[in-house]
Amino acid sequence: MKVLQINIFGNLSTGNIAADIYRTLAAQGDEGLVAFARGEIAADVPHYRIGTDLDVKIHGLMTRLTDRTGFFSGRATEKLIEKIEAYRPDVVHLHNLHGYYLHVGKLFQYLKKSGIPVVWTLHDCWAFTGHCCYYSMAGCEKWKTGCGHCPQKKAYPASLWADASARNYRDKKKLFSGVNMQLVAVSEWLLSQVGQSFLSDYPARVIYNGVDMNVFRPTVSDFRKKYGLEGKTVVLGVASTWDVRKGLNDFIALAGMLDDSCRIVLVGVGEQERKKLPPQILAFGRTDGAARLAEIYGAADLFFNASVEETFGLPTVEALACGTPAVVYRATALPETLTPSCGFVAEPHDLAAVREIIMQKKFRGISRDDCLRGAARFEKTAQYRKYTELYREICLKGPNVSHGGTNR
């Protein structure tokens, strides 16, 4: 069996998922290829680079001017199609198609014509909206009816002034229908959103993102001693990019509510965000590897995921795998990452409740083993084997079976 995956990144969160799915295939004696446009990719993963850095920059610029992300990079997409034709995969597995590197019109016209079975893992909501990847904070439900007059046109993928959200919605609805395709959502919450969208006629299931419990595990380190945190209650937050959606403002407010016995540590902070932080918050940029991040998770007393827009929330699971209990907001998919035995769920922005958990040290009632059992539900190999099982299930059906999506 041969599976060709397509994703914007070769690394970072979704890129690492694609690489791990390839490794799961290879361990079973199957073949795979990961096509990506940005970032790097591990040397052990067979890969194809889509377009060039210049292609990405031009696509990004055109998006700013037209609000038509996903409808440029035509030549890069044609070359990708040539690669697909030459590789002759049994399954094409799509991940994030936004990110300024693909012409979704050309790609989906080819996929319909070829009849190649397609798996599309939805890591966010972009596939069924006219513009945005997330809409919960904006309280917008236009994605259910057609978009237009987008309240988030300046959010990623940002447009300076044009609003093509209604046109994008119509084009996506038409293009993404009639494909031999199975959808995968990375949480039950996201699956529920898909069921209310124009993709609802496709078969869909949940496969959670996986955590590598050989890397993210309880680890002894000198982190607390090195940064003067001994004797402190350490509350940790981790994000690849900090913004309002990830809860940066809530961490800033929480810092003013805690006394000197506590210290907030944030990882993944950029220079612009660092300027906003009070001295009570110890900030780090991106770590230089997963092992280092695991040391920081393990040094914390409590992990706090202050986001209100997550289709899964992998850092929470990584913290659990390192033996650290967590608190999340009751928003989008975040409660799915916890059980009552390994963490707490607070109402969105209820910092008084979060403070109570911290100051009364309620997390001490949760053992390391409780956390590890909570994380084990998302163990990487078990999750990604579900993809190989899905591939085989699809291949047994043969081509042009179960075409979902209608132009209703």
Report DSSP letters for 329-393, one per residue: ESSTTGGGG--TTTEEEE-TT-HHHHHHHHHTTGGGGS-HHHHHHHHHTTBHHHHHHHHHHHHHH
Whether 192 and 255 map to the same domain: the answer is no
Non-local CB neighbours of 82 within 8 Å, separated by 6+ positions: none
- Backbone phi, psi, residue 144, to 5°: -85, -20
pLDDT of 324 strictly over 90: yes
> Which of 115, 58, 39, 53 is CA-nearest to residue 84?
115
Whether 199 and 240 map to the same domain: the answer is no
The domain total for the chain is 2
| Residue 289 located in a structural domain | yes
Whether 284 and 359 map to the same domain: the answer is yes
Place of tokens 């780090």: 284
| Residue 22 located in a structural domain | yes
Whether 373 and 327 map to the same domain: the answer is yes
pLDDT digits (tens, 9 = 90+) for 279-323: 999 999 999 889 999 999 999 999 999 999 999 999 999 999 999
pLDDT band at 47 (very low <50, low <70, confident <90, very high): very high
- Backbone phi, psi, residue 82, to 5°: -60, -40
Mean pLDDT of 83-91: 98
Mean pLDDT of 75-101: 98
Strand order of the sheet with strand 204-206? Answer: 47-49, 31-38, 2-9, 91-94, 118-122, 181-185, 204-206
Mean pLDDT of 117-122: 98
Average of per-residue pLDDT values in the chain: 95
| Residue 318 located in a structural domain | yes
CATH number at residue 103: 3.40.50.2000
Whether 334 and 392 map to the same domain: the answer is no
**DSSP, res 143:** G
pLDDT digits (tens, 9 = 90+) for 141-161: 999 999 999 999 999 999 999
Non-local CB neighbours of 26 within 8 Å, separated by 6+ positions: 32
- Backbone phi, psi, residue 116, to 5°: -60, 130
| Residue 127 located in a structural domain | yes
Whether 340 and 296 map to the same domain: the answer is yes
| Residue 217 located in a structural domain | no
pLDDT of 403 strictly over 60: no
CA distance 281 to 161: 36
Whether 197 and 334 map to the same domain: the answer is no
Whether 66 and 174 map to the same domain: the answer is yes
CA distance 337 to 328: 9
Whether 254 and 351 map to the same domain: the answer is yes
Question: Which alpha helices (H) appear in 176-277, and where do they start and end?
Answer: 188-194, 223-226, 248-255, 271-274
Is the separation of the CB atoms in 398 and 366 below 8 Å? Answer: no
Q: What CA–CA distances, in Å, run from 125 to 23, 95, 115, 192, 386?
A: 27, 12, 25, 11, 22
Tokens for 240, please give them: 């690849």
Identify which has the larger pLDDT, 160 or 241: 160
Whether 26 and 174 map to the same domain: the answer is yes
Mean pLDDT of 361-369: 97
CA distance 308 to 330: 8
pLDDT of 404 strictly over 70: no
Whether 187 and 123 map to the same domain: the answer is yes
CA distance 402 to 117: 10
Task: Return the beta strands (E) in 226-348 as ranges.
Answer: 233-238, 262-267, 281-284, 302-305, 326-329, 343-346
| Residue 216 located in a structural domain | no
- Backbone phi, psi, residue 9, to 5°: -105, 150
Which residues span the domain enclosing 69?
2-210+381-397
Whether 332 and 242 map to the same domain: the answer is yes
| Residue 404 located in a structural domain | no
| Residue 235 located in a structural domain | yes
Q: What CA–CA distances, in Å, run from 43 to 23, 32, 111, 211, 241?
A: 12, 14, 28, 20, 26
